[in-house]
Amino acid sequence: MLAEEHGDLEEMAGGAHASAYHFSRQLTRHAGEPPVSMRRRVLLERAAWRLRGGATVTEVAVEAGYESVEGFSRAFARSYGHPPSRVADSGAGHWLPAPNGIHFHPPTSLWVEERPAGGSGGGRVLGEAVLHDVEDTREVLALAATLPEDDVRRPLLPGHVTLAWEGAEESLLAVLDATVWTKEVWVAAMTGAEMPDRPRPDLATLPGRHERASAAWLAVVRDVERRDAWRDRLVDALCEPPQSFVVGGVVQHVLTFAAHRRLLARTMLRMLGHDGGSGDPLDWQVRRSGGQGAS
Instruction: Give DSSP secondary structure letters for 55-102.
Output: --HHHHHHHTT-S-HHHHHHHHHHHHSS-GGGHHHH---S----SS-E
Mean pLDDT of 234-255: 86
Of 132, 96, 155, 115, nearest in space to 263 by CA: 132
Instruction: Give the pLDDT of residue 120.
Output: 46
The C-alpha atoms of residue 175 and residue 278 are separated, in whole angstroms, by 17
Mean pLDDT of 216-227: 88
Mean pLDDT of 51-61: 92
Q: Has residue 263 been placed in a domain?
A: yes
Q: How far is CA 29 from the centre of its chain?
A: 30
The C-alpha atoms of residue 9 and residue 24 are separated, in whole angstroms, by 8
For the entire predicted model, the pTM comes to 0.73
- The identity of residue 184, as a single letter, is E
- Residue 80 is part of a domain; what is its CATH number? 1.10.10.60
Instruction: Give the pLDDT of residue 108.
Output: 84
Q: For the segment 40-50, what is each residue's pLDDT rounded down to a tens digit? A: 999 999 999 99
Do 130 and 199 lie in a common domain? yes
Do 61 and 134 lie in a common domain? no
Q: Is the pLDDT of residue 241 over 90?
A: no
Do 90 and 213 lie in a common domain? no
Q: Has residue 101 been placed in a domain?
A: no
Q: Has residue 105 been placed in a domain?
A: no
Instruction: Give the pLDDT of residue 180.
Output: 97
Domain encompassing residue 231: 123-288
Average pLDDT of the chain, as a whole number: 87
Q: For the segment 111-143, what is each residue's pLDDT rounded down to a tens digit? A: 988 764 444 444 567 778 998 999 999 999 999
Of 261, 264, 276, nearest in space to 180 by CA: 261
Instruction: Give the pLDDT of residue 137.
Output: 95
Instruction: Give the pLDDT of residue 1.
Output: 63
Q: Is the pLDDT of residue 237 over 80?
A: no
Q: Has residue 294 been placed in a domain?
A: no
Do 157 and 235 lie in a common domain? yes
CA distances from 196 to 188, 193, 212, 234 (A): 7, 8, 13, 18
The domain total for the chain is: 2
Q: Has residue 4 been placed in a domain?
A: no
Do 51 and 196 lie in a common domain? no
Q: Is the pLDDT of residue 294 over 70?
A: no
More confident residue, 199 or 114: 199
Percent of the chain with pLDDT over 70: 91
DSSP-derived secondary structure for 25-56 = HHHHHHHSS-HHHHHHHHHHHHHHHHHHTT--
- Residue 182 is part of a domain; what is its CATH number? 1.20.120.450
Instruction: Give the pLDDT of residue 246.
Output: 92
* Other Cβ atoms closer than 10 A to 216: 18
Pairing of strands 243-246, 109-112: unpaired
Half-sphere exposure of 2 (CA within 13 A, CB side): 21
Q: Has residue 31 been placed in a domain?
A: yes
Q: Has residue 1 been placed in a domain?
A: no
* Other Cβ atoms closer than 10 A to 264: 22
Do 159 and 244 lie in a common domain? yes
Do 174 and 266 lie in a common domain? yes
Instruction: Give the pLDDT of residue 291.
Output: 59
Q: Has residue 80 been placed in a domain?
A: yes
Do 141 and 277 lie in a common domain? yes
Confidence bin at 171 (pLDDT 50/70/90): very high
Q: What letter would DSSP give residue 201?
A: P
Do 59 and 138 lie in a common domain? no
Q: For the segment 65-109, what is each residue's pLDDT rounded down to a tens digit? A: 899 999 999 999 988 888 998 887 666 688 888 888 889 999 888
Phi–psi pair at 214, nearest 5 degrees: -70, -40
Do 33 and 82 lie in a common domain? yes
Q: Which residues contact 55 (CB under 8 A, 6 or more apart)?
A: none
Do 142 and 255 lie in a common domain? yes
DSSP-derived secondary structure for 212-235 = HHHHHHHHHHHHHHHHT-TT-EEE
Domain edge (last residue) among 95, 112, 142: 95
Run of H or E residues at 156:
none
Do 146 and 74 lie in a common domain? no
Instruction: Give the pLDDT of residue 280.
Output: 92
The C-alpha atoms of residue 284 and residue 291 are separated, in whole angstroms, by 10
